[in-house]
Amino acid sequence: MGRRFIISTAILDLAALAVAVLVGLAFVPDFGQGVEPIDVAPLFGAMVGGAVVGSYVSARSWGEGAPRPSYGRAVSIVSIGVSLTALAVVTSRMYWSRPFFVITSMAWLGLALAHRAYRRRRPWAESIVAISNEKELIEDLRSAPHANLVDALDPRGEPPTRPFPPGTVMAVDLRAVLSDTMAQYISSVHLAGRSMRGFTSVYEEHTGRLPIVHLMEGWELTEPLEAKGVYVNLKRAIDIVLVALTAPIWLPLCGLIALVIRLDSNGPAIFAQERAGRGGKPFTLYKFRTMVDEADANGPQFALPGDDRLTRVGSGLRRFRVDELPQLWNVLKGDLSLVGPRPEQLPFVDRFSQTIPFYTHRHLVRPGVTGWAQVNFGYADNEVDTVEKLSYDLYYLKHVSPWLDISILGKSVWTVLSGFGAQ
């Protein structure tokens, strides 16, 4: 079902591009016309090729997660398609029209967002029977938007007597001790062709989190991470290229934001703070000041919703996450990656390392300007929230890939453009 969902979404995106081309032709009727007919087929081919590549990258970035209509993915697909088309125009010098290209791109993005908005009204869901006694994890799974939890069975109890709907997945907790009758039941339904998967695997797919209570010694994280060492090491070069290419956009924006901050309140525009980097090594992180000057004079504190230390401008900067833009300099220096666990203040790291199991594992990779926990959870303002946020960070460590990073960047771009989803 998930594969059908992804394929149908890609087809709808290509159909949206076709309609967008017609819209562009309607607004620019003389495109391709003149004394002699001009061949516009190469431009159309480049646009279709860009759309196919964007859809392929998006499909690969689903990884093991449950698919859903995502606005961030629409932005990513259109951005990739438009960028590749522009690259083809520059390198081949094919005929093109700027008004046509702009109108078509805007119409494509609008239609891609529109069909996702419609499909989100009836999101894809997977029917699941959980065989586990982890009540909190079962409740997390029950509240997941794409998990239809049909039943939760006690591993040591008696098997159910009623049949479950066709296509229902049996999620078995491999750490649980099974009663003889339950073990026989699981074996029989498996032989009958019922889909059987590990409970933790299903939990990760649908929640985007790692069940910390199921970790034993941390090798469940280090082994998958070591297997992806080539990409983890290559990320540094990718970060530098992306930051350099986008410098004409973010540098002027940084200058404008710095000026507005100085006009709004007393104090420097840039706020510097010591944070923990890869391996726990301290570094100086830069961001735009969003609070009154000397806000941490009484020691480090969590930022709370409606914090009276926030300035008028700072509240808006946090909503759209643009207060993080100066950290692109940290990326160039090598302190940060574009994507990774968010770096925490040193006193909090010292505290959480003692009180939260596996907290230090988030330092196995270079921290990021944005991350999986950031786009799914947002800011943590207490230790309980920090544990929940850690479950997202550890999920990222286990599943790190170029496709997951692209998905995170797409969601982050959507947050910056819309302010939606920021926390």
Residues 317, 231: one domain? yes
Residues 131, 104: one domain? no
Residues 172, 271: one domain? no
What is the number of domains present in the chain? 3
Query: Which of the listed residues 60, 87, 119 is the one where a domain comes to its end?
Result: 119
249 has a pLDDT exceeding 80:
yes
Q: What percent of the chain has pLDDT over 90?
A: 53
Residues 318, 293: one domain? yes
For the stretch 263-285, pLDDT in tens is: 988 889 999 999 999 999 999 99
Is 221 inside any structural domain?
A: no
Task: Please enumerate in sequence order all residues whose Cβ is within 8 A of that of 112, keeping only pairs 6 or more positions apart, or say none.
Answer: 12, 13, 16, 74, 77, 78
124 has a pLDDT exceeding 60:
yes
Is 218 inside any structural domain?
A: no
Residues 313, 254: one domain? yes
Residue 243's region, left for phi above 0, alpha for psi from -120 to 50, else beta, is alpha
Residues 53, 101: one domain? yes
Stretch 96-101: mean pLDDT? 85
Residues 329, 378: one domain? yes
Is 262 inside any structural domain?
A: yes
- More confident of the two residues 5 and 294: 5
Residues 182, 232: one domain? no
Give the pTM: 0.78
CB of 200 closer than 8 Å to CB of 176: no
Is 338 inside any structural domain?
A: yes
Cα torsion 307, 309, 311, 314 to 10°: value is -60
Is 197 inside any structural domain?
A: yes
Residues 260, 324: one domain? yes
Residues 133, 114: one domain? no
Is 222 inside any structural domain?
A: no
355 has a pLDDT exceeding 70:
yes
Is 186 inside any structural domain?
A: yes
Residues 87, 193: one domain? no
Is 16 inside any structural domain?
A: yes
Can you give the pLDDT at residue 32? 63
Residues 331, 351: one domain? yes
Residue 412 CA to residue 322 CA, distance in Å, equals: 10
Domain interval for residue 76: 2-119
